[in-house]
Structure 1
Amino acid sequence: MSRTASLLAAALLVGLVAGPSAHPAAASAPTVPAAAQVSARHQDSGLAAAIAGLPGAVATAALVRVGGREGVWRGSSGVHDLRSHRPADPDARFRAGSVTKVFTAAVALQLAAEGELDLDRSARSYLPELIPASYGGVTVRQLLDHTHGIPAPDFPGTTVEEWYANRFRVHDPEDMVRSATSKEPEFAPGERQHYLNIGYTIAGLLIERVTGDSYEEQVARRVLEPLGLRDTYFPGANPRIAGPHNHGYQRMRLDDGTTGLRDVSVWGATDAWAAGDLVSTTADLERFTQELFAGRVVRGPLLKEMFTLPEVTDFRSGKPAAYSVGLSMKELGGREVWGKTGGRWGYNAAIASTLNGSRTLVYSVNSTDAKGQDMNKVAQDIMVAAFGRP
């Protein structure tokens, strides 16, 4: 069977005030009462303020979990959807976007520890029929730390409206690799860093090649099941989020020619696959983050790969590399914070932790421009409230 065929086969009450919205139902919707509710040992007014006042112009809902030895905080704000204005479900599933890469990297590192994958071996040596000789020098580690130099594949459309029109298109990972590798390299392997999905698309295929199993089954067997992540799954070609979820909205041009919010909860994610199609919850991602940083997902010396930045510069900005194998690093509040953000239309997500696990953060923000060039304001405020300013 072809791959395409198989893909088809609140410590605190937070007051909610209906903010301005171009969505036709939002204009007449009543103001709703508070939606955040869960007990906590530690209250953080900064976090409460970060998610107050939703829905608003930049987000319709937010779910937050802070953990670790420094204190625990839980909060949710906003609405389940802009038609009913029911309070947001704090246990809802959401699209985690590029947080998926952390799961992919973890499985690849497990396989490396078992001798099934060699991080210093070329990707072409595992997939000779797919990776051309022009990319023969790209190693497995370079795929995982974004220093491979392979450009992005071509996708139909250049605007959000065009991408929305193609939201049900099923993308085959091997076809995406062929599209990308048919182009000239952006730079020689290992010389620069360019954050793109394509390295993790190839990594997913490498996992399948060396295990003889599907990428999804390997992540389930090696991570989801051992950690009891029962609300985390891979959607395949199904464009819907299974189970309870808060709706995602994207600001775009509507059918009547005006600009407003369109419900984009139903949108296929096969273009991201092993780089960004995971669906999860804040509770599951918090458990995964805590176990990962405690060394109970990737065990032994290979865990260091996730906390080692390559000594190169960014392809576009010229700044020092910010991405390791699976994670990224920022200095916040005077200390290193490691984690990963992700974005799919209508949804922003993140996992983050101090290196010693003393403070962890997971959030889901239903952003109205989830794939914009700048970080969503609500998400940014959550991150700063949790860890401090850069």
Structure 2
Amino acid sequence: MSPTRTRPADPAALDRARATVTDLMARHHVPGLTVAVTDADRLLFAEGFGHADLSTRRPATVDTGYPWFSMSKIATATAAMRLADEGRLDLDAPVRELVPAFATRSGELPRVRQLLDHTAGAPNPLPVRWVLPADAPDGDVHTATRRLLARHGHPTRPPGGPARYSNLGYLVLAEAIAHASGEPFTDHVRRAVLVPAGMTATGYTHRPGADHASGHVRLPRPLVPALRAALPGGLVGERHGGQVALRPFRVAGAGYGGLIGTAPDAARLLRLHLADGVVEGNRVLTPETARAMRTITTPGRPFDLGLGWFRRPADRDARPAFVEHWGTGGGFWNAMRLYPDLGLGVVVMANTTRAYGHSALVSALVTAFTA
């Protein structure tokens, strides 16, 4: 099916979408939020709402950076699939050929492809303390990641069953990418994905001088000490009304959740996938590969999976059809969604820990550009 042709949003429809955004933010106590809408060729709309930081009342803008958390997995999967297109990564090879520790003692061996669609049998421990202060050196982040892999980086279920979402699987995939590419994982993703896509405001560290959102957790005052005990020292900041601020941090585990950047940059990654592998005139993936990534083939829980993109089982019959990926964690709740038949992609990034009805928000924005 050819994508529906988009046109400039009707001003009244766009105002209704803005009203939906502000209403959801008020009802769910979201401090700040940035959205971006794109088609396969260009950014159609981007805007910030609310505050990037409650203590200073600094506004959230299109230039505000947010930790991507698990939205980073789409960049990781894109890098893996580009290596496969180049013949440098065999998706059907046993994972242990690239990451020896990730192997079952008996039975079928997990394959690289199964890391992408979460069927490799990897565990998914709760990533509560998988963060370090924003100024932590790369060596400390690398050491923390190695500890996670040493403790959890092996299959705990037979491969090939229903998809079960796993952050650890994407840490192992990052190791496989580094081995296949011959360079550190983060360096390879920058060179193979971020630079070709023109994503200059996104990386695996906080850019000096850039505007970054402060994470917030809505929490009753008596529970704040428990939050301080749960997170590494120094990350829990001051309380502002019913919200507790988190100081800037880095994620230990670049492959599953380490990117930090803006909504318009995330929209560039969506453009790459909407245009079947081409962005900024650069071909990153073959058309067949880009389409395969967003084809949902593997049922699972809590998501049905393609090779990176997912969809909730409850959304299997949604029309217009879409695939998406969320990025959630302490202080932030993000999502990016592709509507291949409409030729549209939407990103929403917010500095709140709780869900806020992102589907209604995204639907309102899509309606503004297709009505």
TM-score relative to the length of structure 2: 0.77
Amino acid at match of 2:338: S
Partner amino acid, structure 1, of 2:248: V
Alignment counterpart, residue 34 of structure 2, candidates 63, 71, 74: 63
Note closer, same or farther for the CA distance 1:250–1:214 as it changes in structure 2 (3 Å cut): same
1:129-167 Cα offsets, whole Å, 9 max, x none, are x22443861000100100111213576x6xxxxx49x75
CA shift at 1:91, angstroms?
1.4
Q: What is residue 268 of structure 1 aligned with on the other side?
A: 250
Greater Cα shift, 108-117 or 297-306: 297-306
Closer, same or farther: CA 205–72 of 1 in aligned 2, 3 Å: same
1:340 aligns to what SS in structure 2? strand
CA distance in 2, matches of 1:79, 1:265: 15
Q: Is the contact made by 1:197 and 1:275 (CA closer than 8 Å) also made in structure 2?
A: yes
Q: Answer yes or no: is 1:324 the counterpart of 2:306.
A: yes
User: Following TM superposition, by how much is the alpha carbon of 1:353 offset from its aligned partner in structure 2, in angstroms?
Assistant: 1.7
* 1:123–1:131 contact (8 Å) kept in structure 2: yes
In terms of fraction of residues, the more strand-rich structure is 2
Give the partner amino acid of 1:244: D
Aligned 8 A contact 1:347 1:365 in 2: yes
Taking the aligned partners of 1:57 and 1:114, their CA distance within structure 2 comes to 45
Does residue 1:250 correspond to 2:217, yes or no? yes
Gaps of 5+ in 2: 1-7, 134-139, 228-238, 279-283
Specify the alignment match of 1:349 in structure 2: 334
1:96 touches 1:277 (CA, 8 Å); kept in 2? yes
C-alpha separation in 1, matches of 2:172 and 2:263: 27
Tell me which of 197, 202, 209 is aligned to 1:232. 202
In the TM superposition, residue 385 of structure 1 has moved relative to its aligned partner by 1.9
Determine the structure 2 residue equivalent to 1:222: 192
Inter-CA distance 73–325: structure 2 relative to 1 (3 Å threshold):
same
Maintained 8 Å contact 1:95/1:277: yes
| Structure 1, unpaired ranges of 5+ | 1-39, 158-162, 371-375
1:182-235 Cα offsets, whole Å, 9 max, x none, are 6x723x211111011111101100111112201111111111111211101112
Report the identity percentage.
23
- Which residue identity does 1:61 align to in structure 2? G
Give the Å deviation of 1:378: 4.7
1:80 to 45, 52, 68: 52
Asked if the contact 2:60–2:213 (Cα under 8 Å) also holds between the matched residues in 1, the reply is yes
Matched, 1:278 2:259: yes
Superposed CA deviations along residues 239-283 of structure 1, whole A, max 9, x for unmatched, are x9861122221124225999942211423311x321111011111
Task: Describe how 1:1-390 pairs up with structure 2 within 5 A.
Answer: 41-43=9-11, 44-52=14-22, 54=25, 57-68=28-39, 72-128=44-100, 130-134=101-105, 137-153=109-125, 163=129, 167-168=132-133, 170=141, 172-181=144-153, 185-186=156-157, 188-235=158-205, 243-252=210-219, 253-255=223-225, 260-270=242-252, 272-295=253-276, 296=278, 297-314=284-301, 322-329=304-311, 330-331=315-316, 334-356=319-341, 358-367=343-352, 369-370=353-354, 376-387=355-366
| Separation in 1, partners of 2:317, 2:337 | 11
Kindly state the Cα deviation for residue 360 of structure 1 after the two structures are TM-superposed: 1.6
Structure with more helix by fraction: 2
SS at structure 2 position matched to 1:352: strand
- Output the aligned Cα RMSD: 3.1
Structure scoring higher RCO (CA < 8 A, sep ≥ 6) equals: 2
1:263 aligned counterpart, secondary structure: strand
Q: CA deviation at 1:73?
A: 3.7
User: For the Cα contact (< 8 Å) 1:365–1:378, is it kept in 2?
Assistant: no
TM, length-normalised to structure 1 = 0.74
Contact 1:63 1:365 in 2 (8 A): yes
Q: Check conservation: 2:71, 2:334, Cα contact below 8 A.
A: yes
Structure 2 counterpart SS, 1:64: strand
